[in-house]
Amino acid sequence: METQNERERENGAIGDGVEAERHRVREIVALGKQHNETDIAAEAVDDGTPVEQFRAKLLNTLGRAKPLDLDYGGHRDQRSVRNFSLLKAIRAAVDNDWREAGLEREVIGETQHRSGLKARGMLVPSAMFATRPALTAGAVSGLGDGSQMVATDHLADRFVDILRNETVVGGLGATFLADLEGDVSIPKMTAGATASWVAEGSAASESTPTSSNITMSPKTVSARVSYTRQMLRQASPDIENLLRRDLVRQIAVAIDTAALNGSGSSNQPTGVLNVSGIGSVALGTNGAASTYAMLPALEKEIAVDNALLGSLAFCTDPKVISKLRTTAKQSSGVEGNFVMNDDGRLAGYRVGVTNSMPSNLTKGSGSSLSALIFGNWSDLLIGEWGAIDLLVDPYTNADSGQVRVVAFSFVDIAVRHAQSFAAVSDIVTT
């Protein structure tokens, strides 16, 4: 027969289990609401997913950027994304007349209210900077009488953009955390429990997992361009795209450069090359020419830390690629067996190539040295606070009829595991 003590212990265990389950549900629901992921939170509650596993799943889900979803009067209006005109917003700010830009003013006000960010000018949702498809001649001819369109001899769709550094980290698999609010703290386990062999009847050794946090806070990156007032008056969809592309491209290149080699000081995030604890392969006291052996050496640096998984790829600059295409794998042997062949891969892995990678490094007496990074790029986190602050200045260059537009974006960069990356930083390419 069950004794009273046994019943009390049983009831206590049940009570503890109920409270633990309530805590699990509360934590998961709260995290789902905080990051607007209530659907996967509901699934996790139903499936009995532990809180730590849900955090990991949520972190990966947050990397998928979502379309802007604005709420006006209790209903969802996705047309705001399609119809918002950056050109109208800039013209209205220049003229201080928003009568023809009612939607734009409403979206800007809503963004300001939601973001909690302090704006220098007007906060525009970052989703508004997506480039729109240019209209064809047939589509243009159907827009009313066409009185607001530019002259037929103005070939805006033939605009020749300047050459900029290629942006690569997104294509390599970096994890983007979109629409963040406030400072972010992501739990990270630094050491797990350990198992041990014990004799019959002996107690197991106790080990306690340890954890820390990856913190991210908004850092400001800016881009500045100037346009003539006449150009801003033209209602061409290509001018609209030019405005979007010109600003967002500058910001994208700056983010890419910081992700690879940000100093971590002077208001910059810390890029992969400057993260403490990444693997390192040295070629020489003063740097040295690249060799095939450096590739498996980089791979080993990551493999010994159990990090050889995920979005694995190399990243370097064009100078290194040029040398690797003419560097033989071995001193003698198969003719034309170069480190990098026509398949565009290194040791079987993808390669990102960009001038955002530094080629001005120094070591000993060596200078103008290049770098090569290998790693799991999904462990590179790029946090975006989902608005761009647009400052329209019609005064500074007023004497030349130009309007200055300055865009400020709020971004931070972090590495989930330093062991997921390794680098060579002393490659001689001359």
Q: 150 and 57, same structural domain?
A: no
Q: Is residue 319 part of a domain?
A: yes
Instruction: Answer yes or no: are the C-beta atoms of 421 and 279 closer than 8 Å.
Output: yes
Reported confidence tier of residue 197, pLDDT bands at 50, 70, 90: confident
- Residue 151 DSSP SS3: coil
Q: What is the extent of the structural domain holding 2?
A: 1-62
pLDDT at 214: 87
Reported confidence tier of residue 192, pLDDT bands at 50, 70, 90: low
Q: What gap in Å lies between CA 40 and CA 45, rounded to an integer? A: 9
Q: What is the mean pLDDT of residues 269-282?
A: 96
Reported confidence tier of residue 12, pLDDT bands at 50, 70, 90: low
In degrees, rounded to 5, the angle at the alpha carbon of residue 62 between the alpha carbons of residues 59 and 68 is 165
For residue 6 the two structure tokens come to 């046994």
pLDDT at 60: 58
Q: 298 and 422, same structural domain?
A: yes
For residue 230 the two structure tokens come to 């006449």
Q: What gap in Å lies between CA 215 and CA 91, rounded to an integer? A: 39
Q: Is residue 339 part of a domain?
A: yes
Percent of all residues in the chain with a pLDDT value above 90, rounded to a whole number: 35
Q: Is residue 121 part of a domain?
A: no
pLDDT tens digits for range 338-351: 888 888 899 999 99
Q: Which of 60-64, 140-144, 273-277 has the lowest mean pLDDT?
A: 140-144
pLDDT tens digits for range 284-343: 999 999 999 999 999 999 999 999 999 999 999 999 999 999 898 877 656 668 888 888
Q: 156 and 30, same structural domain?
A: no
Q: Is residue 89 part of a domain?
A: no
DSSP summary character for residue 217: -
Q: What is the mean pLDDT of residues 85-100?
A: 89
Q: Is residue 29 part of a domain?
A: yes
Q: Is residue 111 part of a domain?
A: no
Q: 257 and 152, same structural domain?
A: yes
Q: What gap in Å lies between CA 268 and CA 178, rounded to an integer? A: 19
Q: Is residue 75 part of a domain?
A: no
Q: 378 and 255, same structural domain?
A: yes
pLDDT tens digits for range 39-65: 788 888 888 888 767 776 766 555 443
pLDDT at 245: 80
Q: CATH no. for residue 416?
A: 3.30.2400.10
pLDDT at 342: 80
Q: Is residue 91 part of a domain?
A: no
DSSP summary character for residue 270: B
Measure CA of the first residue to CA of the last residue in the chain; give whole Å.
Answer: 87
Q: Which of 28-37, 349-358, 368-377 has the lowest mean pLDDT?
A: 28-37
Q: 366 and 271, same structural domain?
A: yes
pLDDT tens digits for range 125-139: 777 665 444 433 333
pTM, rounded to two decimals: 0.70
Q: 164 and 43, same structural domain?
A: no
pLDDT at 36: 65
Q: 47 and 153, same structural domain?
A: no
Among the candidates 21, 41, 62, a domain finishes at 62
Percent of all residues in the chain with a pLDDT value above 70, rounded to a whole number: 75
What's the number of domains the chain is made of?
A: 2
pLDDT at 182: 78
pLDDT at 80: 57
Q: 359 and 216, same structural domain?
A: yes
Which residues, listed in sequence order, are joined to residue 222 by a DSSP beta bridge? 408
Q: What is the 3-state secondary structure (H, E, C) of 180-229?
A: CCCCEEEEEEEECCCCCCCCCCCCCCCCCCEEEEEEECCEEEEEEEEEEH
pLDDT at 344: 86
For residue 221 the two structure tokens come to 């990156």
Q: What is the mean pLDDT of residues 208-229?
A: 84
Contacts of 259 (CB under 8 A, 6+ apart): 169, 174, 269, 271, 272, 380, 382, 413
Among the candidates 62, 80, 102, a domain finishes at 62
Among the candidates 62, 78, 94, a domain finishes at 62
